[in-house]
Amino acid sequence: MSGALLQVEGLTAGYGAAPVLHDVDLAVRPGEIVAVLGANGAGKTTLLRTLSGLVRSAGGRVVFDGSDLAGTKVEHLVRRGIAHVPEGRGVVTELTVDENLRLGGLWRRDRADTKKALDEVYELFPPLAQRRASAGHQLSGGERQMLALGRALVGRPRLLLLDEPSLGLAPKVTGQIMALLRDLRARTGLAVLLVEQNVRSALSIADEGVVLALGRVVVRDKASVLRDDADLRHAYLGF
C-alpha cells in the first residue's frame, strides 16, 4: 500500500510473555481517519501504546513517513509528527490548562508558530480559553478531552493517535469531538488513528475501519462497508 503515512506490518506485542497483539497490519494515509474497533480487551489501547513505544513490540515493523520507527525514543516521537492522546485523556491534572497546553509545544523550536498554534487551540475550544488558570482536576470530562486534544494540536502533528476520546462523555460532547476531528482533517490534512468503543460515532467519521478481536485484525474495510454489514456488526461490534 503505497503513499501511507503510517504503515504497520506484522506487529506483535504485549506485556510479559503472552502477546496481546498478533501480527497486526494496518495503514493510515495522509488525511485519512482510520478507526480501530473491537471489544474490551481486544488490544486497541495496546496497539496505540506499541505504536508510540510505551509498550515494546516483539515483532513486526512500524514505518512512519518512510522510515522505520524501531528504536525511536518515546520522547522523540512528537518531533516526528506523531501525537498520542492516551486513554483517560492524559491531562496532567496538577497543572493548569495553560501549562498543559504550553507543555504540548515545549519541544518545538519555532516559538512564533507555537504561540500561534496555542492561540488557535483557544479559539477552537472557547471553554478552555475561559479556564486558562484552572487546574486540570477542576475540569469536566469534556473539557479534559478538549485539553488533551488541544495540547496535541499545539505540536501541529501529522498523525494523531487518539485513544477512546468518547470515554465517559455525553453523546452530545462525543458528537462535537467527532465533528471537530472531521473538520481538522479537512482543514489541515491531519491523519487520525482512532481507537473507539463507540463504534457508531467512530464509523460516522472514519474512512476505514480495522476490527480487532483478541489481538488480531479480523476485518479491515471501508467504514461505509462496515456500517452497512449487519452480520459483521453483530459478530464483532455488538450493535
Residue ranges that bind another protein, judged by CB under 8 A: 52, 54, 74-79, 83-84, 86, 90, 92-95, 99, 102-104, 106-107, 137, 151, 155
Q: Decide: 51 and 64 in contact? Cβ < 8 Å.
A: no
Nearer residue to another protein within complex by CB, 96 or 176: 96
CB of 98 to another protein, least distance (A): 10
Nearer residue to another protein within complex by CB, 48 or 181: 48
CB of 151 to another protein, least distance (A): 7
What nine digits make up the cell of 86? 492516551
C-alpha angle with apex 39: 34 to 45, nearest 5 degrees? Answer: 60
CB of 136 to another protein, least distance (A): 9
Nearer residue to another protein within complex by CB, 81 or 175: 81
Q: Decide: 158 and 30 in contact? Cβ < 8 Å.
A: yes
Listed in sequence order, the residues at least 6 apart from 18 whose beta carbon sits closer than 8 Å to its beta carbon are none
Strand partners, 211: 37, 219
Nearer residue to another protein within complex by CB, 22 or 131: 131
Nearer residue to another protein within complex by CB, 155 or 209: 155
Strand partners, 216: 213
CB of 75 to another protein, least distance (A): 5
Residue 21, phi-psi category: left (phi > 0), alpha (psi -120 to 50), beta (remainder): beta
CB of 153 to another protein, least distance (A): 12
Report the greatest alpha carbon distance in the chain.
52
CB of 189 to another protein, least distance (A): 22
Nearer residue to another protein within complex by CB, 38 or 155: 155
Round to whole Å and give the CA distance between 87 and 28: 20
Q: 3-class DSSP state for residue 24?
A: strand
Amino acid identity for residue 118 in this structure? L
Strands (E), 96-232: 159-163, 191-195, 208-213, 216-222
